[in-house]
Amino acid sequence: MPKPLLWNLRRFRECTAQYRNGAIECPHPPVRLWIEPTNVCNLRCISCPTGRGHVHAPGRMPLDLYRAVIDEAAGFAVDINLIGRGEAFLHPEIGEMVRYAHDRGLSVRLESNATVLTADKSEAVIRAGLDFISFSIDGYVKETYEAIRRGAVFEQSIGNVVGFLETKRRLRSRKPYAIIQLIRTRPFLETATRANRKRFRRMFRGLPLNAYRYVTPHRYVGEIEEEITGSRYGYMKRTDGGGLLKLRYTPCPYLWMSMHVLWDGTVAPCCMDFHGRFILGSVRESTLLEIWNGEPIRSLREKIASRRHGEVPLCAGCDLLRQTTLAGVSTKNIRDFNIFLRENIVR
């Protein structure tokens, strides 16, 4: 059974407090886990290191390893994000992964490019209890979409999303909370006219789609060029079209609130570590809680909290360390938390 909303809120509050205090050793375990089903992807997107062939040693997480991680995480985590460097639906047992975490009382979230989504896969994850799904589209029109998400076919991807939503409606399921995500890269913005947006949204009219989300593109610690993202380290695009907004240094919340488990069991500090540059440990050798307060992550927290991020190659040029804030918390995290609340209200 899913955990009560009040229990989830208390866990978020605990982790937020240790983040704001800059705790080096955290008494409260992570509230969220990112678990990578596979690092293999079928696309070559221009705004992703995987799409540029920068991920090595392809593989997928064995189900027994996944179950061991879930069994431990069920005691303290609020949700599991089946998100990594690859396409989750390329894992042949993705439905079982969703079901196992759901049955252990965890909220389960998933992101997909929708290209390999089928009617059977859609029904499998919906019936398994998936709580949230994000479809990455990144273009209102065929030419833009296919130039960004190389290897995908616009009509097929849209059809797969529509099919998923029709299956959700047929099953009369309130879950998953379904969104379409669009990354505001420069190529996307070139055709992001009001007329194109209106035509795009019309394709999903009457279907159980919960929201659209527009995302500022990551530079993935400098791997993606400014001409694609349209952003610079320390700045973000204004939503009113007025140029770039200068940001302030904000310690990365991931180190105090979450962990990222790669397909082979190694643990990275966050989903930006595409190359395993800063490994915290392995769940094959240690428990999640041992890694959570092990020496590598304590050292990393100390550097990030004291603004010594330049000493960490992974973090030195990360755009997530420059954010707008409210009451000492990044507004990105606040937006993510608001989405979490809306997901839970849909229960």
Decide if pLDDT at 94 tops 90: yes
pLDDT tens track for 102-144? 999 999 999 999 999 999 999 999 999 999 999 999 899 999 9
pLDDT in the model for residue 54: 64
pLDDT in the model for residue 233: 47
Q: Which residue has the higher pLDDT, 166 or 5?
A: 166
Q: Look at residues 88, 78, 142 and name the one whose alpha carbon lies nearest to residue 110.
A: 88
Model confidence band, residue 68 (pLDDT cutoffs 50, 70, 90): very high
Residue 174: how many other CB atoms lie within 10 Å: 11
Instruction: Please give the Cα distance from 331 to 138 (Å, whole number).
Output: 22
Average pLDDT of the residues of the chain: 86
Q: What is the mean pLDDT of residues 297-316?
A: 90
Decide if pLDDT at 343 tops 70: no
Q: Which residue has the higher pLDDT, 232 or 280?
A: 280
Q: What is the mean pLDDT of residues 77-105?
A: 96
Model confidence band, residue 55 (pLDDT cutoffs 50, 70, 90): low
Lowest mean pLDDT among 142-151, 162-171, 218-227, 275-284: 218-227
Name the pTM for this structure: 0.88
Instruction: Please give the Cα distance from 68 to 312 (Å, whole number).
Output: 31
Decide if pLDDT at 237 tops 70: no
pLDDT in the model for residue 275: 77
Above pLDDT 90, what percent of the chain?
A: 62
Lowest mean pLDDT among 16-20, 214-218, 242-246: 242-246
pLDDT tens track for 240-260? 555 555 667 888 889 999 999
Decide if pLDDT at 204 tops 80: yes
